Structure 1
Amino acid sequence: MTQYMISVGHDTAEAPTMETMDPAIIQPIIAAVDAFNKKLQAEGAWVFAGGLHPIQTATTVDNTGATPVVTEGPHIESREYLGGLWVIEARDLDAALGWAKEASKACAGRVEVRAFQEEPA
């Protein structure tokens, strides 16, 4: 089986976070994501999932030069950022897309699906 990442994107760094959202809005999303996670686990597709802290908490490390440079903040200034992800196992892209449709519904947002590269022989 192939492993796929289903990533959850957010449109702007100024978007409300789980901590600042109205509980009446966030609680149903949390419940839906929890149910989706349990379904992934029950059907053997679950590998890993996790949400990320807001983009403002990112730290960038660049050790490509003579001296490592550690900078507070994201690597790329962008309106969009990664908010969380699932790593699943699916028989093919169609099956992964089926899971992605459920993930999008559960987290109330757009998701992106990408297969992991196979390990070299």
Structure 2
Amino acid sequence: MRYAILLHYPERPSEDLGEALDEGQAAFQAYARDLDDAGVLVSGEVWQPSSASTTLTAADGTLRVQDGPFADTHEQLGGQFVIDVPDLDAALAWAERAPSVTWGHVEVRPSATYVESGAWVPST
């Protein structure tokens, strides 16, 4: 079963983090290596700050494009790891090891379907 480990944490400019930035990057690199060594890592992404995002909506029938995030929030969705493990307990065990669990929220969400070789595949 595929699960996304979604990493939410307070948004701060990287220059405000100092040595914590280097320590965080090293911790995430070790975490990614552990996931990969265990054979459960499907993909991993670290995203640019939410200020670099662009949000689109056409909920009222008119397309609107807005610079920046949709929600005004103090936390950002900073990245994700997609893992393939037998069950939720295994996904939670990996999620609790995510470095950002000590300074933000880690959300675990099961995949319903995913695209492989251009076709939708139900997650099992």
Q: Distance in 1 between matches of 2:75 and 2:12?
A: 13
Shift of 1:80: 2.8
- Map of 2:110 onto structure 1: 115
RMSD (Å) for aligned C-alpha atoms: 2.0
Q: Distance in 2 between matches of 1:19 and 1:52?
A: 16
After superposition, what is the alpha-carbon deviation per residue over 1:61-120, rounded to whole angstroms, capped at 9, x for unaligned? 1134444211112122233321111111111011001100111xx234331111111439
The share of aligned pairs that are identical, in percent, is 31
Structure 1-normalised TM-score? 0.81
Structure 1 residues 16 and 77, CA, compared in 2 at 3 Å: closer, same or farther? closer
Alignment match, 2:14: 18
Name the count of aligned residue pairs. Answer: 113
Which runs of 5 or more structure 1 residues have no equivalent in the other structure?
A: none
2:111 maps to amino acid: F
State the one-letter code of the partner of 2:34.
K
| Aligned positions of 1:59-98 closer than 5 A | 59-98=54-93
1:10 maps to a residue whose letter is Y
Task: Check 1:81–1:36 CA distance in 2 against 1; reply closer, same or farther (3 A cut).
Answer: same
User: Normalising to structure 2: TM-score of the pair?
Assistant: 0.79
- Kindly indicate whether residue 94 of structure 2 is the aligned counterpart of residue 99 of structure 1: yes
Q: Structure 1 or 2: larger strand share?
A: 2
Distance 1:67 1:97 in 2: 40
* Structure 2 spans left out of the alignment, 5+ residues: 114-121
